[in-house]
Amino acid sequence: MEFTKQNRIAKTVALSFVLGIASCTQAQNSNPSDSAPGKAFAVVELFTSEGCSSCPPADKLIEQLQEENPNAPLYILAYHVDYWDHQGWKDRFSNRAYSSRQQQYVNWLNLTSLYTPQIVVNGQSENTGSDEGATVQAINNALSHHSQGNISLSTSKKNDVLEVSYQFNGDPKGNSILLALVQKKAESNVTAGENTGRRLPHVQIVRALQAEDTRSQHSLQIKTPDGYKPEGYELIAFVQNKKTGKIIAAAKSDLDQ
């Protein structure tokens, strides 16, 4: 797509706006595992696949968002869906559960069908995953609203299981809490399908996802994937309304501390 000079300037201003709000918010909240009541945040969920030729630009966009806003209250998750796996290339990060999660958004947002790449922000808006302008606008909108609770996380590991304890300071009624184990970076050499011959970089890959009805406090177990190294992963938690899909609070924690 060809952008005019005016559009390019508008996008640059929008990206700066994201960074400015993020820096301000982070200065008030030095604990990376907390998203205190009243703090703005944006949960950015990308549905993607190595088998989809339109997806690499979307993967690049979330990588750009991640790199250019390191102190932002952005919680980025890339779900690799499995419905492209029959096109000649099986995405090693794909999972049927992530396709099912995307189907939930079809229902919540009254969409007609699944598609990739797709970005959903705070469970309330969706756009084509490679559309930078629409994505930044959705993030800016999310960052103009307050969270409705505070999530605190603590973790410990025994063998190949991660024990995650959480506390939620907010109204748990009608909500689910989701805990995502996220691999920060990876690459794949694709030898078949629509992306044959391409080396695809990925960021913020969801490797495991656990959900339950929100409680004030509880513990969950997450099985770590093969080759797990804590410095290469982080844990993202968010609370989501089961009826509307609206995400009302979020937090994250590095696992190498």
- Fold (topology level) of 5-254: Glutaredoxin (3.40.30)
The pLDDT tens digits for 175-224 are: 999 999 999 999 999 999 999 999 999 999 999 999 999 999 999 999 99
Under the banding of pLDDT at 50, 70 and 90, the label for residue 243 is very high
State residue 256's pLDDT score.
81
CA distance 87 to 94: 13
Q: Evaluate the omega torsion of the peptide bond into residue 117 and state whether it is cis, within 30 degrees of 0.
A: yes
Residue type, 250: A
Task: Give pTM, 2 decimals.
Answer: 0.87
Name the residue with higher pLDDT: 44 or 31.
44
CA distances from 36 to 146, 241, 242 (A): 10, 18, 21
CA distances from 156 to 115, 202, 213, 229, 239 (A): 37, 26, 22, 13, 21
Write down the residue that tokens 């088998």 correspond to: 51
CA distance 152 to 9: 38
Average pLDDT over residues 78-95: 97
The pLDDT tens digits for 106-140 are: 999 999 999 999 999 999 999 999 999 999 999 99
Domains of the chain, residue spans: 5-254
